[in-house]
Chain A
Amino acid sequence: MSTERAQNRLAFWFLLPSALVLLGVVAYPFFFNVYISLTNWNMFHFRNPEIIGLTHYIRIFSESDFYRIFGKTIAWTAINLVFHFTLGLGAALLLNRKLPGRNLYRALLILPWAMPQYISALTWRGMFNAEYGAVNILLAKVGIGAVPWFTSEFWAFMAPVITNIWLGFPFIMVIALGGLQSIPRELYEAARIDGAGPVRQFFSITLPMLKPVLMPALVLGTIWTFNNLNVIWLVTDQGLPADKTHILVTYVYKAAFVYYRYGYAAAFSVFIFLVLVVIVRGYDRVAREEAY
């Protein structure tokens, strides 16, 4: 009895420092951000911000740029996830065979994940240079003309997409490899006896068995990709050409820290957060419905 009380007291003291940090550095800023979003805080009203209600929120939805950027964010997230999962899963399936040198391959394929993101992004920016970049040189060698990365809106979007696909597939690969190793061999043997081919085996055994590890990776991957500031910001050098290559988070970052539109950026941040909550809830619901 007394030990239980002692245990609980211990838990309180153990939790206190983390709670203080999270309340002070995460929860307080969160509410402060909501407050900022209701004010006209910007460069001109830095010392005397006033509450202006929902003006910023209304402005967000009435801007024509908003729908373009929002659409681009969805496309960015979807394209990246599709490639992360196909490449990552594909690599995991290949490496799960008895392949000579597979430990070496595995180590090499993890490298993009292990490098600091900003270095990868800056390196790819250099590689996409239209004249001296390795990508165009390589394309020229196989007879494809120079691609106008960073001057065409479409290619300026594709450049960070390619970079981020490169960055993200090893994570899925590692997760999937872990999952593959835990699938009992007997399942495949039984399926083979029943006459199921490799494709059938993949969809009836491999994929369902991997779901418990891939679902959390999908949720995390969606959040990380949706909120990825580094790649677009650094690869396109703050949104080249002429701020045409933004997704929501880079757009907000620029509004806040380049144009000092604090109130506006705060409102936009709240909106992004709400979108993510809705998406994650959606995943949750799908997962739960399938469980029954």
Chain B
Amino acid sequence: MSGGRLAGKIWNHVWVHALVWLLVLFAVFPILQIVSISLRPGDQLYSTSLNIIPDGATLDAYRIMFTEKPFLLWMRNSLVVSLGTALIGVALASLGGFALSRSRFTGRGAALQGILMTQMFPATMLLLPLYLLMRKLHLVDTLGGVMVAYVATALPFCIWTMKGYYDTIPVALNEAALIDGCTPFQAFVRVTLPLSTPALVITALFSFMTGWSEFMVARVMLASKELMTLPLGLESLFTTYQTEWANYAAGSLLVCVPVVFLFLVLNRYLVSGLTLGSVKG
């Protein structure tokens, strides 16, 4: 009797593992493809082999990206835009979220609803007027112009995240600091802000990622070759006549690795921040 049970259990186990492996394969296959293509020598780009390490594997594509392609320039532009977005995003959201969390003023509910509403705007709804506006202000084709658009994209989500997190910090802590003689601003900086590190990390990561991986806005706003960000640069390797697959794959991996690493390390924070922010909506 117990033998039958055991067999059933093993069978169950096999099934679970098979399903998990199938999913993992689906998730990882495209990434292995990028790795494989980035290692292919020039004469094997159109090979129909599915080996992950191709015959005659070479790191040539990586060398080409750094020495022959303006990859470092793209990276510099992307870093400027992304760090700028993260800095402004964190500064504005940590302040604004605090006000929305702790003060009860008229129009607070409307402000919160309005911020949520912005998530429903289709990209073109803001992009088109912003583009026409920035043309008038001569901000088209500047990194600053793109940064403004990214801050606007990331800010609503960041404010919600910060507000949701402040809501979970007991007000009494802040009040204790006030009784001890802190000004409200000091209480915020010395007590509340240090307690909010996880939310600050998410906000920074989210704004940074917005800038790091945004394509459609950059495509409209930036025209000069010297201002190309990484997404535009990588896409420029796809030309009508020939796609530089190996270079594209190598560049993609270089772009992905730091972000994926950050993401995996911070993933726990990410989920708590996300669910907090939306459930309380």
Contact = CB atoms under 8 A, between A and B. Distances in A.
Contacts, number: 250
B96 A17 contact: yes
6 contacts: A22-B118, A33-B126, A170-B27, A216-B279, A220-B278, A256-B127
Most B CB within 10 A of own CB, among A25, A131, A141, A230? A25
Contact of B260 (A97, A115, A234): A115
Interface stretch (B59-67, B68-76, B230-238): B230-238
Majority SS at the chain B contact face: helix
A256 B128 CA distance: 7
A38 interface: no
Interface stretch (B2-10, B149-157, B195-203): B149-157
B234 A119 contact: yes
Contacts of A122: 234-235, 238, 248, 252
Contact of A126 (B127, B188, B215, B245): B245
Most A CB within 10 A of own CB, among B16, B27, B31, B47? B27
B128 A273 contact: no
B48 interface: yes
Interface of B: 16-17, 19-20, 23-24, 26-31, 33-34, 37, 46-48, 50, 91-93, 95-96, 98-100, 102-103, 105, 111, 114-115, 117-133, 148-149, 151-152, 155-156, 159, 178, 183-185, 188, 209, 212-213, 215-216, 219-220, 231, 234-235, 238, 243, 245, 248-249, 252, 255-256, 259-260, 263-264, 267, 270-272, 274-275, 278-279, 281
Bin chain A's interface residue count: 35 or more
A234 B215 CA distance: 10
Most B CB within 10 A of own CB, among A6, A126, A217, A273? A126
Contacts of A113: 263
A249 B124 contact: yes
Given A14-B95, A99-B20, A233 B28 contact: no
